Structure 1
C-alpha cells in the first residue's frame, strides 16, 4: 500500500465517471422490482457468460448490478434490519420534488427518515430508506448547495483557460473537476 507522501507523487487515475454500483441481494427478483418500481431503473442485458444469478439495471447515467446470494445473512452478524441512519453508507440520487418522494414512499408503505442540510442560506432536503436487502438509498435536492472546490484553482481561472485553450495552473483533479463543472454550467445556460 502506498503511503500518502508516495501517493501524492502520482497523477490520479484516468477516471471518467461512476459506472455502476454492485450489490449482493437475497433475491434478484425482489431487488429488481424495487429498483424498477421505486427508483425507475430499467433492466438491461447482462453478459451470458456469468455463471451466477444476477441482474443489471440502468438509468440516470448509472448502472446497478445485482448479484444474488441467498445466504447473505450468514455473513452478517445482525439479522434484524438496521435503523435508517443518514450517516450510514448509501447511494444518493438527485430528485426534483422531495415532497412527492415522501408521499409516494408513504403510499407504498415504506419506512423512511428525513434530514435537512443547510449552508449559507441554502437548504437540502433528504429522504433515506432501505432497499429489500437493507442497503440505504437517499433521494435529495442536493443541487441546492453549490459545488465549490477547496483547492487554489479558481473557477474564474478555469473558465478563462477553457475559452482561450490556455493551460490552467491547476492540478489534474482540479482541471478534470472544473472542466466537468464548466461543461455542466454551459449546458444549463442554453
Structure 2
C-alpha cells in the first residue's frame, strides 16, 4: 500500500452491514433487544433487507441468498472474536434484562489502572457477536500527539459528543452538550 501524508477524509461510522438468514428475525432482535428502530431503505434495491437506526449508527440487514454464503457458525461466545460493541449506562440492568429475555451471555471484566470495565457478550439470531459494556470508564488517551483532534473535529463516545482541545500540558475533553469539562488535563 502506498504511503500518503494524510488519511482518507472520513468523518464517522455510518453503518454496519450484516448478512442474515432471516431479516424478519434479525429486525425483531435488534429492535426488541437493542432498541434499534426500522428506518426507510431505498426502494431501488433489488434484494431483501432492512435498515435500522439508533445511537448515531445504522445497522443494514441483508437477506442471505439461497446460495451458500458465509455466516458465523460457532455457537460459542468468544469475547476475542469479531463483534459489535455498544455502550450502556447501567451494566446491571443490561445483565438482568438479558436474563429475563433468556439470552445466553458471557461476562468479562477489563482492569486498567484501578478502573474496572464490565462487558457482556452474546449472539444475535445469526451468531454475530454483540458486546454491551461500560467502556466509558476508560479514558481515551492518545498514544501520540497525532491523535489529538483539531478543535472543529469531534468524535462520538457513548451518548456524549466530545471535542478535543489542545493545551500546553495535553488535552481536555469538553462535553459539547452542556459545556462542562469532563476530563482534567492529561499529559500526552
Q: TM-score range by the shorter chain?
A: 0.7 to 0.9
> Are 1:185 and 2:174 matched, yes or no?
yes
* Unmatched 5+ stretches in structure 2: 155-161, 165-172, 181-188
Give yes or no for contact 2:36–2:54 (8 Å, CA) kept in 1. Answer: yes
CA–CA separation in structure 2 for the residues paired with 1:46 and 1:86 = 32
Q: 1:23 to 1:147 in 2, by over 3 A?
A: same
Corresponding residue of 1:123: 116
Matches within 5 A, 1:136-151: 136-151=129-144
Corresponding residue of 2:149: 175
| Selected match of 1:54 from 49, 54, 60 | 49
> Are 1:90 and 2:83 matched, yes or no?
yes
List structure 1 segments (4+ residues) > 6 angstroms apart after TM superposition: none
Give yes or no for contact 2:72–2:128 (8 Å, CA) kept in 1. Answer: no
CA–CA separation in structure 2 for the residues paired with 1:33 and 1:27 = 10
Q: 1:59 to 1:38 in 2, by over 3 A?
A: same
Corresponding residue of 2:170: none
Structure with more strand by fraction: 2
| Selected match of 2:58 from 35, 57, 63 | 63
Larger radius of gyration: 1
**Does the residue aligned with 1:185 lie in a helix, a strand or coil?**
strand
Give yes or no for contact 2:88–2:132 (8 Å, CA) kept in 1. Answer: yes
**Does the residue aligned with 1:125 lie in a helix, a strand or coil?**
strand
CA–CA separation in structure 1 for the residues paired with 2:32 and 2:86 = 15
- Give the Å deviation of 1:85: 0.5
TM-score by length of 2: 0.79
Question: Could you give the per-residue CA deviations for residues 77-132 of structure 1, whole angstroms, max 9, x where no partner exists?
Answer: 985x4300000000001001111111111111110000000100111100000000
Q: CA RMSD, aligned part only?
A: 2.2
> Are 1:14 and 2:3 matched, yes or no?
no
Matches within 5 A, 1:102-113: 102-113=95-106
CA–CA separation in structure 1 for the residues paired with 2:32 and 2:152 = 35
TM-score by length of 1: 0.79
- Give the Å deviation of 1:75: 3.3
